[in-house]
């Protein structure tokens, strides 16, 4: 083994030095289910209830995605997670000129309430927990989901599931924003406030470190920037006079499960401990449910390779085990073909089977936090927390996450971490099987799942028909009322719901909001 390879063993992906051995750790982590929940938010964890197996899926039209959902549920999936296409994520209808070539390619196209009703046709929303990964148009998509549930006869107050609705991380990492940061933050908080009053079982935000990590951050940055985003949302709600314990129990988080097995476990543990103290000590929450960090996890898409794609099954299994040992409440496992295509039915099934094997055959679900008390894991948990706290303190000094984003601080930190990671790969200090080591000559990628242009044609035809059949005057009236609400300070959700019920489209509603809020272009800081 080379000296470089030997040195790499003693450092995590976040650059935390690792000693050759750990023999003492002075701070016991306590028991599972007890504050500050380092060892888990439930005393029995998976002995009492397994995590929700929530596979992310969506492609082409609502009809085709509905068929995939029915298939996954028949194979033992226990929750749904909706992937939307790029036009929908950007608040555009399928027939918008900028949507050309993107309809249905990276998720399902949803341009209207009719599309949402089709997406969940035959799937009882009163009984199935649904997660929706969307941010800038999140208020519109949630309104469509709520109305579709109502039309199935469901009580919106009883709906369960999660809306991502984490607009801050869009500016930090994923860049799928429409409006400037401040009004976008207002819209996200409108959803949280509205659901706290009208859909108290629904999680109105999934504060996401996943995309921060996918953009190139290390584990410490993922943890720090995500928790600081959470602090920002809580601050905004408290400024509105919303009592902290009325909404905090429904805040949820979304973590990336990356390759460094022990670092990822320690990250989950540190996250729970930090959030418990933030909510109790910083914000004065008194409800124990407000202290408990509940999370979803997804294996790391950025680690998947098109070279030797079967290797991705192994990567995903290792990452999923880290998330489970770390104590996640729900999990998505990536498919082996996601580095070059939408998942095939076979690949999606194998990804689900990975979770089922871990759950029922590995034995790791039998004891909460099985590495709790390990000198190494406890020390690593402490060090990750220490470094994350330093980032949070820096953002506090800058005046909060909005000023930090406008200054480009988290973006620059992530860019540097991404560069450092790539240098590890290119120098072969970090070996990636099939990429910079153990390669195969003349390798050819497998066949792709293709999305034809017919999806665009079908969506455009349906939109044209909808616009002919609906009450155009009612649409314009509700859109103008929404514009007026945006000009003021009232919660926009009742007006968005009214527009949805009138069959205003995703693009029309987002455009009406944009008429007031305008758009935003990030200034490069590099």
pLDDT of residue 10: 63
Which residues have C-beta within 8 Å of that of residue 183, sequence separation ≥ 6? 486, 516, 517
Taking only the tens place, the pLDDT of each residue in 167-207 is 999 999 999 999 999 999 999 999 999 999 999 999 999 99
* pLDDT at residue 526 is higher than 70: no
Q: Where are the domains of the chain?
A: 3-426
**Per-residue pLDDT reduced to its tens digit, 257-291:** 999 999 999 999 999 999 999 999 999 999 999 99
Which pLDDT value is given to residue 505? 98
| Over residues 49-74, mean pLDDT | 92
Mean per-residue pLDDT for 510-517? 98
pLDDT tens-place string over residues 475-501: 999 999 999 999 999 999 999 999 999
In this prediction, residue 11 carries a pLDDT of 85
pLDDT at 5 over 50: no
- Residue 450: pLDDT band (50, 70, 90) is low
What's the per-residue H, E or C state across 173-236? HHCCCCCCHHHHHHHHHHHHHHHHHHCCCEECEEEECHHHHHCCCCHHHHHHHHHHHHHHHHHH
Q: Is the model's pLDDT at 26 over the cut of 80? A: no
Q: What is the pLDDT of residue 125?
A: 95
Alpha-carbon span 429 to 38, nearest angstrom: 32
CA distance 43 to 39: 9
pLDDT at 454: 85
Confidence of residue 451 (pLDDT cuts 50, 70, 90): low
- Token pair, residue 256, equals 């990336």
pLDDT at 447: 67
What is the overall mean pLDDT for the chain?
94
**Alpha-carbon span 509 to 475, nearest angstrom:** 9
CB 13 within 8 A of CB 356: no
- Output the six-digit token pair for 523: 């200034």
- In this predicted structure, the answer to whether residue 445 has a pLDDT above a threshold of 80 is no
How much is the average pLDDT of 326-334?
Answer: 97
pLDDT digits (tens, 9 = 90+) for 352-386: 999 999 999 999 999 999 999 999 999 999 999 99
Integer Cα distance of 173 and 208 in angstroms:
10
- Determine what percent of the chain is predicted with pLDDT higher than 90: 86
Top CATH class, 3-426: alpha beta
Helices (H), 398-450: 401-407, 409-426
φ, ψ dihedrals at 332, nearest 5°? -115, 130
pLDDT range class, residue 154, cuts 50, 70, 90? very high
> At residue 8, does pLDDT exceed 80?
no
């Amino acid at each position: 083994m080379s000296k470089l390879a030997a040195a790499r063993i003693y450092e995590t992906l976040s650059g935390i030095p690792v000693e050759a051995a750990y023999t003492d750790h002075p701070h016991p982590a306590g028991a599972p289910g007890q504050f500050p929940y380092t060892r888990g938010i439930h005393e029995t964890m998976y002995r009492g209830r397994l995590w929700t197996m929530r596979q992310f899926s969506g492609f082409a039209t609502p009809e085709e995605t509905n068929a995939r959902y029915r298939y996954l549920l028949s194979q033992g999936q226990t929750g749904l997670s909706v992937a939307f296409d790029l036009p929908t994520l950007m608040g555009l209808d399928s027939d918008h000129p900028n949507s050309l070539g993107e309809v249905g390619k990276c998720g399902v196209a949803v341009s209207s309430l009719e599309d949402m009703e089709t997406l969940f046709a035959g799937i009882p929303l009163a009984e199935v927990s649904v997660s929706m990964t969307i941010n800038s148009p999140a208020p519109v998509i949630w309104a469509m989901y709520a109305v579709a549930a109502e039309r199935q006869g469901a009580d919106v107050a009883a709906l369960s599931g999660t809306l991502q609705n984490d607009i801050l991380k869009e500016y930090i990492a994923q860049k799928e924003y429409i409006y400037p940061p401040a009004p976008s933050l207002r819209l996200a908080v409108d959803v949280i406030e509205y659901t706290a009053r009208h859909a108290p079982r629904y999680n109105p935000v999934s504060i996401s470190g996943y995309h921060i990590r996918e953009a190139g951050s290390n584990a410490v940055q993922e943890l720090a920037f995500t928790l600081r985003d959470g602090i920002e949302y809580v601050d905004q709600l408290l400024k509105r006079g919303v009592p902290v314990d009325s909404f905090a129990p429904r805040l949820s988080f979304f973590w990336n499960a990356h390759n460094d097995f022990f670092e990822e476990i320690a990250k989950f543990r540190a996250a729970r401990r930090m959030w418990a103290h933030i909510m109790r000590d910083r914000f004065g929450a008194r409800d124990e449910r407000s202290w408990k960090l509940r999370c979803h996890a997804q294996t790391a898409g950025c680690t998947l390779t098109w070279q030797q794609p079967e290797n991705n099954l192994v990567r995903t299994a290792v990452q999923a085990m880290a998330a489970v040992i770390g104590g996640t409440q729900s999990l998505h496992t990536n498919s082996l073909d996601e580095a070059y295509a939408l998942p095939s039915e076979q690949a999606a099934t194998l990804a689900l089977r990975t979770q089922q094997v871990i759950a029922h055959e590995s034995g790791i679900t039998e004891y909460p936090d099985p590495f709790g008390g390990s000198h190494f894991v406890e020390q690593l948990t402490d060090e990750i927390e220490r470094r994350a706290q330093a980032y949070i303190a820096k953002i506090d000094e800058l005046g909060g996450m909005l000023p930090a984003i406008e200054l480009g601080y988290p973006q620059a930190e992530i860019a540097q971490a991404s560069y450092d990671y790539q240098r590890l790969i290119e120098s072969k200090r970090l070996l990636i099987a099939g990429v910079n080591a153990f390669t195969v000559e003349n390798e050819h990628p497998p066949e792709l799942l293709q999305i034809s242009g017919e999806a665009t044609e079908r969506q455009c035809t349906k939109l044209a028909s909808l616009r002919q059949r609906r009450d155009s005057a009612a649409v314009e009236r509700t859109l103008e009322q929404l514009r007026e609400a945006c000009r003021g300070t009232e919660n926009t959700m009742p007006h968005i719901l009214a527009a949805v019920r009138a069959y205003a489209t995703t693009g029309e509603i987002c455009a009406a909001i944009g008429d007031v809020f305008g758009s935003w272009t990030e200034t490069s800081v590099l």
